[in-house]
Structures are given as C-alpha cells and as structure tokens.
C-alpha cells in the first residue's frame, strides 16, 4: 500500500531500510520495494572488527563481503517485485 502511494508520485527507485540485519529481512524489504538499504549492520561489523589501534583487522573486508553475500541470497530467495 505504501509502495503504491509513493510510486504514484515518482519514477525514482524506492528502497526500504532501517534495521535490516538478516537475509530474511533483506528479502522481505526487497520484495516490498525496489531494493533494500543496509547501513548500520555494516557499521557494526566494522566497529566489532577494529584492532587496538583503531584500524580494521585483516579479515574485516571478508566479513563484510560474507554478510552482504548472505543478504543478497535472502533477496534472491525473497523474490523481487515485478
């Protein structure tokens, strides 16, 4: 319902966000709109993987990539709006 109201006023992509942390949540968000926005969950991964010097640990990029990959699988499983 909200998507229909918003899409009636713009041709721009409409994305859903806030609190998306699991593949299931990403799939649901993407199925209800044109995409899903994930920000704070990635920031949390970064914050949890800083060394004592405040720099990212060597595996920080692979942890973020694995998280994003899991979310992408959730989007694919949840389907996209036609």
Mean pLDDT, rounded, for 14-29: 87
**Which residue bears the tokens 């942390």?**
21
pLDDT at 5 over 70: yes
What pLDDT shows up at residue 4?
81
Decide if 63 contacts 50 (C-beta within 8 A): no
pLDDT over threshold 80, residue 79: no
What's the pLDDT tens digit per position in 27-68? 888 888 888 888 899 999 999 999 999 999 989 999 999 999
The whole-angstrom separation of Cα 64 and Cα 71 is 11
Tell me the pTM: 0.73
CB-CB contact of 80 with 29 (8 Å): no
- Residues in CB range of 73: below 8 A, 6 or more apart: 23
């Amino acid at each position: 319902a909200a998507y229909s109201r918003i899409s009636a006023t713009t041709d721009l992509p409409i994305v859903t966000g806030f609190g998306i942390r699991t593949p299931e949540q990403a799939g649901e968000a993407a199925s209800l709109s044109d995409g899903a926005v994930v920000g704070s969950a990635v920031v949390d991964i970064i914050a949890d993987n800083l060394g004592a010097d405040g720099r990212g640990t060597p595996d920080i990029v692979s942890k973020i990539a694995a998280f994003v990959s899991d979310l992408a699988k959730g989007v694919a499983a949840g389907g996209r709006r036609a």
